[in-house]
A and B are shown apart, each in its own frame.
Chain A
Amino acid sequence: NAGVTQTPKFRILKIGQSMTLQCAQDMNHNYMYWYRQDPGMGLKLIYYSVGAGITDKGEVPNGYNVSRSTTEDFPLRLELAAPSQTSVYFCASSYEETQYFGPGTRLLVL
C-alpha cells in the first residue's frame, strides 16, 4: 500500500491564482481530512469528509473548497490565492480513530 499520497510536493503561486492540491489513499478509509500547518504551530483543520459525497467545514475553511466523489480521492481547491494561504498542507485518512498522514504539500503564495 502507498498509504496517503499528496501532489505536488511544493508549489509557488501568484496572488489571485487558483490551484488544486491532490490527495489520494489506497486503504479504503471512509474518513479524510485536510489540515494546514503554519511555522511553529500545530495543525488546523480546513475540511473533512466522512465518506464519498459528504464533506464539511473545519476550523479554517475560508478560501478553500473540497469535493469527495470517490472513497480514494479528496482534492482541496484554492481559489484566488492570498499570501495568508502560504503554509504546509497535510491530508490524512483514518481507520478506527487513528489518522494516517500524507507527506504534505508546501505552498508559497507571492
Chain B
Amino acid sequence: KQEVTQIPAALSVPEGENLVLNCSFTDSAIYNLQWFRQDPGKGLTSLLLIQSSQREQTSGRLNASLDKSSGRSTLYIAASQPGDSATYLCAVCRSSNTGKLIFGQGTTLQVKP
C-alpha cells in the first residue's frame, strides 16, 4: 500500500531564507508526483507536477525534484517571503487512467518578516 510522508510537520524560518520541504513515498511505481499549496480555510492550488520520467520541475522561486528509486521528492523554495506562509502538500499518482492521488499530511510553513 502506497504511503506518503512529509517531514517536518511544521517549519518556521526568517524571511529571505532558502528552504527545503521533504516528501517520501513507499512504492516507487508512481505515474507522477505533485506539490500543492493550501492557504488556511482554502482549497488546494497546484504548484508543480513531476512526471515519473523527470528529475525536476521549476516554477519561479520553486524547484521540485524527484528521486523515484529512493522514494523521495523535495520542494526547494528560494528567498522565502511572508507570502509563502501556507501548508504544502505532496501527492503521488499511480495511474494515468484514474488520476487518483495519495496525499502526505503536509508541512505548515511560516515565514517571519
A residues contacting B by CB (< 8 A) are 4, 31, 33, 35, 40-45, 48, 50, 56, 58-59, 90, 92, 94, 97-104
Contacts and interface: CB of A to CB of B under 8 A. Distances in A.
Contacts of A33: 99-101
A41 B106 CA distance: 7
Interface stretch (B37-45, B68-76, B77-85): B37-45
Contact of B89 (A42, A56, A104): A42
In terms of DSSP, what is the predominant structure of the interface of chain A? strand
Nearest to B93: A97
Contacts, number: 65
22 contacts: A31-B99, A33-B99, A33-B101, A35-B103, A40-B9, A40-B105, A41-B105, A42-B4, A42-B91, A42-B104, A42-B106, A43-B44, A48-B100, A50-B99, A56-B98, A94-B99, A97-B96, A98-B34, A99-B34, A100-B46, A101-B45, A103-B43
A104 to B, nearest CB: 6
A2 B49 CA distance: 23
Given A31-B99, A43-B103, A99 B89 contact: no
Given A42-B104, A43-B89, A45-B102, 19 more contacts: A4-B43, A31-B98, A33-B99, A35-B103, A40-B105, A42-B6, A42-B103, A42-B105, A43-B101, A45-B101, A90-B44, A97-B49, A97-B96, A97-B99, A98-B34, A99-B44, A100-B46, A101-B44, A103-B43
- Pick the 4 closest A-B CB pairs, nearest first: A42-B103, A101-B43, A101-B44, A43-B103
B32 interface: yes
Which of the four size classes fits the interface of chain B? 20 to 34
Nearest to B96: A97
B52 to A, nearest CB: 11
A59 B43 CA distance: 20
A15 to B, nearest CB: 25
A41 B100 CA distance: 17
Contacts of A100: 46
A6 to B, nearest CB: 8
